[in-house]
Structure 1
Amino acid sequence: MRFLDLTSQDYLRAPHEQLLAAMEEGPWAQTKLPFIGRLKLLLGHAECQALLKDQDKFAVDARNAGHKSAFGLRFLPRSLKIMASNLLTMDDPDHRRLRGLVDEPFHRVAIDVQRPVIRETCEEIVETMLRTGARDLVTGLCRELPQRVIFDLLGFSRDARTRLQNVMAGIAGSTSAFAMIRAVMKLKPAQAAMREEFERVRAEPRPGLVSELVHAGEDGEKMSDDELLAMVFVLFAAGQETTSHFISSAVWTLLTQPGKADEYRAGDEDARGVAVDELMRYCTPVQMTKPRHPRAPLMLHGQALQRGERVLALLASANVDPRVFDNPAELDLKRRPNRHLGWGGGPHICLGLHLARAEAQAAFDCLFDRFPGLAIDGDPNALKWIPRAGIRGLKSLPLRFQ
């Protein structure tokens, strides 16, 4: 079973050939994660899709497979325990109940209405970068755009935005698992700000998803403050990070592959939508899923798995499976059909996939339409990728806005 170092710069810069080589050896590989150690990765498209759909044999919540916490870790501070019980770590029926309360604003029809506003927000951010002389796309646009969009969607007050930005900046800027843990340990100020916001909207309802969640209920039962905290944190943090890494890795890809930026510019609205899907397949900013845990011992594709053992679907390898994609290591902006798993799959498929797609296309349209000579400032291969297993995004992306 091949070992994959998902944090090495060589892998992050060009992962496709390594993934194809691993799949030639079989459906399994191994990697190593901080605090957890070695664990198994499932590689193929069909294999990953089946794993993500099979709720009878596999649990997302580790407590449903013999562990004492949702993450399967023994020691968690209370602030993190609250956040641990969220959409990403729940099984049905709790997952279905909570997702049903937030699903509607993320439907494609609702997001399509927001596209002009998202594009306008993107233009404002780029104008600020030009005015201030900022050149790093990661800090200037990739983090700022999804943050502003989700703040508007949630309906946060200006005071809550300011307080949350200070805390979340540390999480978004974390470049390793250890830095992420340190940032997460500082969640208390963010949680306090959110609790205050909940009290405000209880007293005075206003437009926005936070107000809707505070007053939402099923059969008359309201969401608890802890459920609200976990929900808002996931919507804010997970959505922001995914989109940020997608934009940075996709812009780097378009600018480093000859002719691809011009091909994107030449496309109409439909062609650009197809290109965004292919960029998600090719770049796969979320490289792997949260762990799945066998509810009982079983055999899976020749591997004996114990109850509660962590198994991850490696979406990045599923997206280059030659059984599904022709010439999978090539970027084909006209690829159709494109059954990639960049958004995950099964009941936990990305809630904000339509929002992330709209934000990414707004960024690409703004950058490549406005700047025909857009280029990376310096050697593209000298840029550093974030060495955190499970994501693929750049630490910085300096550009020349020509």
Structure 2
Amino acid sequence: MADRQEAVDLTTAEHVRDPYPLFARLREENPVCPMQRRRGRTSWLVTRYDDIVRAVLDPALRNDPRSVSTVTEGPRFPMGRHMVASDPPDHGRLRRLVAGALSPRRTGRLAPHIARTANDLLAALPTDEPVELAQDFAFPLALAVISELLGVPHADRADLSRWTLSILSSPADATAQFFADANAFHDYLNDLIETKRRNPDDAVISAMVAAHDHEGLVSAEELVSSVFQLVIAGYESSASTICTATLALLEHPEELGYFRAARGRELDQAVEELLRHTSTLQVLAQRFVVAPLTIGPVTIPAGETVLLAVGSGNHDPRRFADPDRLDLRRENNQHFAFGYGRHLCLGATLGRLEIKIAMALLIGQFPALRLAIPPNELNWRPGLGFRALSTLPIVLGPRHPGPRNDEIAS
């Protein structure tokens, strides 16, 4: 049975800054262990790659919190009925809704828009004084891309950014401001859906509305929640990965030079390694145990919750040779950056495209790019699920022509 050992804490500033020493120790000494949660609760943390794979596929673990009889006190989050928080058969319905709207053809058409927006943002930045890469480049780019994909009007994008970052940055004990922003976000998406229903366009929300109205795939609550999940997944993850991956390259000059020269398959391969090595996604959304679950020597009783530490799995030496080394030539790189199994992120194709274009233009145009402060002075955003920099001050240096858009956007 599960042994109630002293719970680990993944929210300390030291762990957020560098999670991999603790993960390495846990993989060897305590690969399935209790983890501190808010209000004195614990969850079971799984840290080995193969154990994470088995757990994702085990029917004893569910994503929908209604699978267990846990009573939740306090206000209810208004946009929680999306596919990440669902199980079959509901998961299949919700995934079909998003997959139909988020086709490769539609996302592929965004490549010129991504390149144009990235170039415009870079052109506006000074080259001889510190700039803030997160706020001046990565987040504005990610916001422009997800807004273009969904069909969010320009006038509304600042509010979208504010609500999203508020929800993602709120402390573990959700505040009144958290729920105020969540409810405002919900009301806005409801209004936007109604606008698209009256005046459809060729963006994703209109396609999802059409599927809802004509095929009856999902409820109104599920439709709003699914749009919300697309915003969260398409905005935060891409922007944070651009920052953490840039930092990784700046800390590895030889790999930085390789990335700058890479094209075609080499560039795609390099992006995969940056996704694995930097591991913006650290812990998957909690799973709920509906039947006794045995992982290694530990049996977790029904009614408990499990957290899958995919950031640890991405650095597991049982799966990746010399995993803490950044190796842009790494082959067979089956990482967890976009999840795993039936919950593999449907926006992975767009995420890869956005990160590749943004970083190829940034690194290619500024060969003297450097940090503006020492790495140990960088601030990391508090949190559990994502590992993200609060800011990334850099100096761009002299501008060079860099790669052509058609060399990187394919």
Q: When the two structures are superposed, what TM-score results if normalisation uses the length of structure 2?
A: 0.88
Change (3 A) 1:258 1:201: closer
Q: Is the 8 A contact 2:129 2:395 kept in 1?
A: no
Residue 312 of structure 1 aligns to a residue whose secondary structure is strand
Q: Where does residue 26 of structure 2 map in the other structure?
A: 22
Q: Give the Cα–Cα distance (whole angstroms) in 2 for the partners of residues 279 and 181 of structure 1.
A: 37
Aligned-pair RMSD on alpha carbons?
2.4
Q: Where does residue 75 of structure 2 map in the other structure?
A: 76
- CA shift, 1:338, in A, is 0.7
Q: Give the Cα–Cα distance (whole angstroms) in 2 for the partners of residues 205 and 108 of structure 1.
A: 20
Among candidates 87, 104, 115, match of residue 83 of structure 2: 87
Q: Give the Cα–Cα distance (whole angstroms) in 2 for the partners of residues 218 and 193 of structure 1.
A: 19
Q: Is the 8 A contact 1:160 1:193 kept in 2?
A: no
Q: Does 1:195 align with 2:190?
A: yes
Offset from partner CA, 1:243-288 (integer Å, 9 cap, x none): 1221111111111123221121021121111111111111110101
Give the aligned residue type for 2:20.
H
Q: Where does residue 300 of structure 1 map in the other structure?
A: 295
Give the aligned residue type for 2:65.
A
Q: Where does residue 281 of structure 1 map in the other structure?
A: 276
Offset from partner CA, 1:104-127 (integer Å, 9 cap, x none): 454545433422321211112222
- CA shift, 1:148, in A, is 0.9
Q: Give the Cα–Cα distance (whole angstroms) in 2 for the partners of residues 321 and 245 of structure 1.
A: 22
Q: Where does residue 63 of structure 1 map in the other structure?
A: 66
Q: Give the Cα–Cα distance (whole angstroms) in 2 for the partners of residues 132 and 83 of structure 1.
A: 44
Q: Give the Cα–Cα distance (whole angstroms) in 2 for the partners of residues 279 and 220 of structure 1.
A: 40
Residue 110 of structure 2 aligns to a residue whose secondary structure is helix
Residue 276 of structure 2 aligns to a residue whose secondary structure is helix
Q: Does 1:53 align with 2:49?
A: no
Q: Give the Cα–Cα distance (whole angstroms) in 1 for the partners of residues 128 and 170 of structure 2.
A: 25
Q: Give the Cα–Cα distance (whole angstroms) in 2 for the partners of residues 39 and 278 of structure 1.
A: 30
Q: Give the Cα–Cα distance (whole angstroms) in 2 for the partners of residues 163 and 314 of structure 1.
A: 32
Offset from partner CA, 1:225-257 (integer Å, 9 cap, x none): 322211111100232111122111111111112
Q: Does 1:167 align with 2:171?
A: no
Q: Where does residue 9 of structure 2 map in the other structure?
A: 5
Q: Where does residue 352 of structure 2 map in the other structure?
A: 357
Q: Where does residue 256 of structure 2 map in the other structure?
A: 261
Change (3 A) 1:219 1:111: closer
Q: Where does residue 215 of structure 1 map in the other structure?
A: 210
Q: Is the 8 A contact 1:9 1:384 kept in 2?
A: no
- CA shift, 1:373, in A, is 0.3
Change (3 A) 1:219 1:202: closer
Change (3 A) 1:65 1:325: same
Change (3 A) 1:247 1:292: same
- CA shift, 1:322, in A, is 1.2
- CA shift, 1:86, in A, is 1.4
Q: Where does residue 136 of structure 1 map in the other structure?
A: 132
Structural mapping, 1:337-356, within 5 Å: 337-356=332-351
Q: Give the Cα–Cα distance (whole angstroms) in 2 for the partners of residues 262 and 120 of structure 1.
A: 24
Q: Give the Cα–Cα distance (whole angstroms) in 2 for the partners of residues 131 and 119 of structure 1.
A: 19
Give the fraction of aligned pairs with identical amino acids, expressed as a percent.
Answer: 28
Q: Is the 8 A contact 1:171 1:180 kept in 2?
A: no
Q: Give the Cα–Cα distance (whole angstroms) in 1 for the partners of residues 240 and 10 of structure 2.
A: 15
Q: Give the Cα–Cα distance (whole angstroms) in 1 for the partners of residues 120 and 343 of structure 2.
A: 33
Q: Give the Cα–Cα distance (whole angstroms) in 1 for the partners of residues 92 and 307 of structure 2.
A: 22
Q: Is the 8 A contact 2:101 2:207 kept in 1?
A: no
Change (3 A) 1:166 1:393: closer
Give the aligned residue type for 1:58.
L
Residue 9 of structure 2 aligns to a residue whose secondary structure is coil
Q: Is the 8 A contact 1:119 1:362 kept in 2?
A: yes
Q: Structure 2 stretches of 5 or more lacking a match? A: 398-410
- CA shift, 1:51, in A, is 0.9
Q: Where does residue 111 of structure 2 map in the other structure?
A: 115
**Which has the higher mean CA deviation after the structures are superposed, 320-329 or 132-141?**
132-141
Q: Structure 1 stretches of 5 or more lacking a match? A: none
Q: Is the 8 A contact 1:136 1:398 kept in 2?
A: yes
